[in-house]
Structure 1
């Protein structure tokens, strides 16, 4: 069972009982108390449960104004899996790969056991957790690196000046970036200025940059501009994108690859 699937079951269990503690979770889900404690910590930081004396209890649902990364895992899952299956084709054995934060990148991380001798760099806590879990089971063959920074609740990543300095002496073969917004007028965008700065740093040290975007993220805007459409060499999207949109963006210089269904 993948860590995020286990945590979803733990969350349902807590919501059905209102209160539980680490030993109960460890026994119920047949994991160590260390793993149970880590799962509860992640759920607490995500705002899904509350820590109380002696254990944890269920938390009221987050408001629409406060999105939680866990919710993104459920959205457009089939489209994200399509994109991931196409993206894995670009990774070769022995590559040094960067995986951005995001649920589409998490689907790509699931497929990395297909490759050998990888060096994977990420700032996404959810991706780091999955890769470490795969490595403990002997299912992932490679090294895992995580840059420093301050943890942000949504989109569940470490970011900050330390993150940018981490990449000063690193060369990346393939960088996979999650695209949350792209438009004909403004190019492609990110959710914060510090993420934009860090993304530009990663692009500058990468031999190949590949954007991953569900079709619904086209013709959307976000607060911070990363670059023009031509600055993004290639974007992989799902088969739900319409022909008119493809023509418009290709006309502006964006190379779009449609993942197979």
Structure 2
């Protein structure tokens, strides 16, 4: 196979699978890893793929666009429901505390707190606060700050200052993207700063992310993989991604 033919085939494979490792491509095409890296460099320069740690993803996987809450609420809804149901097992015991990051999957978990007992819940999310405010078993603390219309989340110095002095049992964190090389990432720097502070406040960090987020990267990284204790995701996670995450010490729970 000529180099051009191999590169076209690699591009088609990455477009179909979403993420492919250098090692897998080397085995599949019977060439050295150095040859694969050169092929990926050619495709990257052409704007067809984007190289990431250990492999490549489609160029469209590296984005700065951020859909609004209304659009995300109905995207992969079934998977998000299952993830939220599985994440209930990681709620702290009675009298415990948790910080809930803004997001549609963390919002679904908040909707399952009807039987919570003496849970102190801290959040920067207006939708989550609205859901849990009427619950008798939840002591709600709302972070202040500028509210982003896209995510309906409070961000900025007020939120960061409040989080600086807090320590909670568990942080339930959402993310726009997750990769081995870039960690957890999101398009907005203000949102990233609050997420980063939430991760630092927690004794235990549980990430709720459907498999479409895995292997993707956004502009601003807010947490490295060694900051995460648990990832709750769906069965569509790629086997290689699953192994990479567990190799990095993360408990991967399939909802």
Query: Scaled by the length of structure 2, what TM-score is found?
Result: 0.70
Counterpart for residue 78 of structure 1: 78
Contact 2:199 / 2:223 at 8 angstroms: preserved in 1? no
1:237 CA displacement: 0.7
Contact 1:152 / 1:158 at 8 angstroms: preserved in 2? yes
Quote the Cα distance in structure 2 between the aligned partners of 1:253 and 1:180.
21
Listed as ranges, the matches of 1:1-261 within 5 Å are 67-91=67-91, 92-132=93-133, 135=134, 139-259=135-255
Describe the SS at the equivalent of 1:189.
Answer: strand
What do you get for the CA RMSD once the two structures are aligned? 1.7
Describe the SS at the equivalent of 2:212.
Answer: helix
Counterpart for residue 14 of structure 1: none
Contact 1:69 / 1:155 at 8 angstroms: preserved in 2? yes
1:103 CA displacement: 0.5
Of the structure 1 ranges 97-106 and 196-205, higher mean CA displacement relative to structure 2 is found in: 196-205
Query: Could you list the per-position Cα deviations for residues 102-133 of structure 1 after superposition, in whole angstroms to 9, with x for gaps in the alignment?
Result: 1001110011112211111111111111112x
Contact 1:178 / 1:211 at 8 angstroms: preserved in 2? yes
Contact 2:66 / 2:187 at 8 angstroms: preserved in 1? no
Contact 1:95 / 1:118 at 8 angstroms: preserved in 2? yes
Unmatched 5+ residue regions in structure 2? 1-64
Quote the Cα distance in structure 1 between the aligned partners of 2:175 and 2:116.
24
1:231 CA displacement: 2.3
Contact 2:121 / 2:141 at 8 angstroms: preserved in 1? yes
1:205 CA displacement: 2.1
1:69 CA displacement: 1.2
Quote the Cα distance in structure 1 between the aligned partners of 2:245 and 2:171.
21
Describe the SS at the equivalent of 1:113.
Answer: coil
Describe the SS at the equivalent of 1:241.
Answer: coil
Quote the Cα distance in structure 1 between the aligned partners of 2:163 and 2:198.
7
Q: Flag the 1:146–1:214 CA change in 2: closer, same or farther, 3 A.
A: same
Quote the Cα distance in structure 2 between the aligned partners of 1:96 and 1:107.
18
1:66 CA displacement: 7.3
Query: Could you list the per-position Cα deviations for residues 60-88 of structure 1 after superposition, in whole angstroms to 9, with x for gaps in the alignment?
Result: xxxxx773311111111111111111111
Query: Scaled by the length of structure 1, what TM-score is found?
Result: 0.68
Quote the Cα distance in structure 1 between the aligned partners of 2:227 and 2:109.
23
Counterpart for residue 35 of structure 1: none
Unmatched 5+ residue regions in structure 1? 1-64
